[in-house]
A and B are shown apart, each in its own frame.
Chain A
Amino acid sequence: GEQVEQRPPHLSVPEGDSAVIICTYTDSATAYFYWYKQEPGAGLQLLMSVFSNVDRKEEQGLTVLLNKKDKQLSLNLTAAHPGDSAVYFCAVITGYQNFYFGKGTSLTVIP
């Protein structure tokens, strides 16, 4: 079955710097890709979703890149601020609507 690897598990960046989180997947038939943010005590907040026919998507300081050749999905937070501190999860849907989540990246933005 699908395997999703996410790195790094922990990431600290100074305020104003960019933060990059990368996920790799194994199933080339994967069609839907998601990034979620989870703040302490909160649920999964959808940040961005991309379909497999999209290579790049930008929204509100976030850039998602999809490299289907290398089966790699990345999230780039440009000019991170302390409010971005949270745990970030990538997720993919394959086959019968089952979600495969990465193990998460704990991001700390240092003021």
Chain B
Amino acid sequence: ETAVFQTPNYHVTQVGNEVSFNCKQTLGHDTMYWYKQDSKKLLKIMFSYNNKQLIVNETVPRRFSPQSSDKAHLNLRIKSVEPEDSAVYLCASSDRGQVFFGKGTRLTVV
């Protein structure tokens, strides 16, 4: 049963465009995350958001920004995509150490 919903499933765009990915969780969790998956199966944390407190991984380029309207939603905006942004982006939510992932959004920048 999917409880973390991501849209779109995949997106192809050109360098310099702006993209936005949506994430919604129906678990009632207080904490949500965005991860970027690299080729070695490592999910690098980009942002975590808990009770309106945003924690940013300082290695994340400034063109990335999270957007949250309430604790069930955490969207990811990329202001001007670059080729190295091509990856799978995973949204997650957590409660008491258990982490639930969405299906991911595959971004291809051409």
Residues of A that sit less than 8 Å from B by CB: 4, 32, 34, 36, 42-44, 46, 49, 51, 93, 96-103
Query: When A46-B99, A46-B100 are in contact, do A96 and B2 touch as well, CB less than 8 Å?
Result: no
Q: B89-110: which residues lie under 8 A (CB-CB) from chain A? A: 97-104
12 A–B contact pairs at CB < 8 A? Answer: A42-B2, A43-B2, A43-B4, A43-B102, A46-B99, A46-B101, A96-B45, A97-B48, A98-B44, A99-B43, A100-B41, A102-B41
The answer for the CA separation of A99 and B100 in the assembled complex, in Å, is 12
Q: How far is the CB of A75 from chain B (nearest CB, A)?
A: 16
B57 at the interface (CB under 8 A from A): yes
Residues of B that sit less than 8 Å from A by CB: 2, 4, 33, 35, 41-45, 48, 57, 97-104
In the complex, the answer to whether A43 meets B97 with C-beta atoms within 8 Å is no
In the complex, the answer to whether B103 meets A99 with C-beta atoms within 8 Å is no
The number of A-B residue pairs with CB atoms under 8 Å apart is: 44
Query: When A43-B104, A97-B33, A99-B35 are in contact, do A49 and B45 touch as well, CB less than 8 Å?
Result: no
Q: How far is the CB of B89 from chain A (nearest CB, A)?
A: 13
Nearest opposing residue in chain A for B98, CB measure: A49
Question: Nearest 8 A-B pairs (CB), nearest first?
Answer: A43-B103, A99-B43, A101-B41, A44-B101, A97-B45, A49-B98, A98-B44, A98-B45
Q: How far is the CB of A97 from chain B (nearest CB, A)?
A: 5
Nearest opposing residue in chain A for B103, CB measure: A43
Of the residues A43, A97, A101, contact of B42 by C-beta under 8 Å: A101
Query: When A43-B2, A43-B4, A96-B57 are in contact, do A49 and B99 touch as well, CB less than 8 Å?
Result: yes
Nearest opposing residue in chain A for B41, CB measure: A101
Q: Which residues of A contact B48 (CB under 8 A)?
A: 97
